[in-house]
């Protein structure tokens, strides 16, 4: 087996993760900057989200795409209270998507929260 093929196999098997800087919510949905997860070839996709703001809640949802252009909602919007944590685990059918991202918005207009997102994909 060639070195190039061995390298390709290791890169395919290696887990991928995202750990963007904390993201301040706005009054409309916005992608968490740096939170796009490319899960090509992976069978397990997980996100955790924590609202690190001491008082304001956030609303969040998970979107997935095959081509990184057209997205579908795979987790409907959910409210996250201040200082609370939630998670998303992709189902077996949802892992057929390649790209995953989280969008957040303020639960109450003008009362911005702060989302800390961590995501990973693995075989």
Q: Per-residue pLDDT tens for 28-84?
A: 999 999 999 999 989 999 999 999 999 999 999 999 999 999 999 999 999 999 999
Long-range contacts of 78-81 (CB under 8 A, 24+ apart): 79/107, 80/49, 80/50, 80/51, 80/113, 81/51, 81/57
CATH architecture classification, 15-122 = Sandwich (2.60)
Q: Which residues contact 10 (CB under 8 A, 6 or more apart)?
A: none
Q: Locate the domains of the chain by residue range.
A: 15-122
Q: What is the pLDDT of residue 8?
A: 73
pTM exceeds 0.75, yes or no: yes
User: Other C-beta atoms within 10 Å of 117: how many?
Assistant: 23
Q: Name residue, tokens 């957040």.
A: 104
Q: What is the pLDDT of residue 1?
A: 75
């Amino acid at each position: 087996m060639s070195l190039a093929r061995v390298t390709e196999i290791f890169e395919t098997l290696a887990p991928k993760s995202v750990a963007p800087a904390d993201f301040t919510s706005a009054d409309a949905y916005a992608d968490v900057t740096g939170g796009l997860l490319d899960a090509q070839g992976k069978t397990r996709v997980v996100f955790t989200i924590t609202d690190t703001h001491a008082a304001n809640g956030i609303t969040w949802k998970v979107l997935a795409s095959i081509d990184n252009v057209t997205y579908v909602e795979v987790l409907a919007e959910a409210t996250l209270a201040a200082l609370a944590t939630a998670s998303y685990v992709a189902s077996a059918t949802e892992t057929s998507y390649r790209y995953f991202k989280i969008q957040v918005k303020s639960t109450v207009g003008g009362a911005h929260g702060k989302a800390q997102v961590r995501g990973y994909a693995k075989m």
